[in-house]
Amino acid sequence: MSRKAVIERVTKETQIKLCLSIDGKGETRICTSVPFLDHMLDLFARHGLFDLNVEASGDIEIDFHHVTEDVGIVLGSAMKEAVGDKCGIRRYGHAVVPMDETLASVTVDLSGRPYLVYNAQLPKVKIGDFDVELVREFMQGFVNSCGANVHVNVMYGDNVHHIVEACFKAFARALDQATQMDPRIEGVMSTKGKL
């Protein structure tokens, strides 16, 4: 079974092509025109052991909002397609990741019901040219298009870069766990028999 997806999305604001293999080795080729987003996607793929290629462009002369949100949307769509009918997957994943003084956890349920809980009280600052508030927009785009329930909780941390990085790493590790096949699971992990 090939658990891969290729998604293209073109709007008046962005043009995105994304290839995802959830049974990868963490290999990447990423160019979104948003350097900090490239960095986060690279470590997301590495820590989730996903192979990820992303080419994105858009109206970055305005700001990075549209590209960041739309990459989240496309990545969520690719994850949903790559997982397929969800037969045999663990469905749930959880990871707690430290990054120096920071500790963040992410819990994922690939339930088909989109919901984001985002407990990361970040100041409205920039990392380089990247508005930190766009991390939530990325996550919301992913959640909506994937149909995932995602809870992001930052227990503590001071350095904003460390906080965001810990969140992305925990997100990747939780998704890796949730998408893993378990030979003990027949059908889908639900008493309803459907997700």
Confidence of residue 168 (pLDDT cuts 50, 70, 90): very high
Tell me the pTM.
Answer: 0.96
Residue 8 pLDDT exceeds 90: yes
Q: Categorise residue 50: left if φ over 0, alpha if ψ from -120 to 50, beta otherwise.
A: beta
Confidence of residue 191 (pLDDT cuts 50, 70, 90): confident
pLDDT of residue 47: 98
The total number of residues shown for the chain amounts to 195
pLDDT of residue 2: 84
Q: Which pLDDT tens digit goes with each residue over 101-149?
A: 999 999 999 999 999 999 998 999 999 999 999 999 999 999 999 999 9
Q: Calculate the average pLDDT of the chain.
A: 96
pLDDT of residue 97: 98
Residue 1 pLDDT exceeds 80: no
Confidence of residue 192 (pLDDT cuts 50, 70, 90): confident
pLDDT of residue 45: 98
Q: Which pLDDT tens digit goes with each residue over 37-75?
A: 999 999 999 999 999 999 999 999 989 999 999 999 999
Query: Among the residues of 84-187, which ranges form H helices?
Result: 134-146, 160-179
Backbone angles phi, psi at 78, to 5 degrees: -65, -40
Percent of the chain surpassing pLDDT 90? 92
What distance in Å separates the CA atoms of residue 164 and residue 102, rounded to the nearest whole number? 9
Closest by Cα among 79, 88, 86 to 175: 79
Q: From the centroid of its chain, how far is CA 74?
A: 10
Domain 4-179 CATH assignment equals 3.30.230.40: yes
Residue with the larger pLDDT of the pair 60 and 150? 150
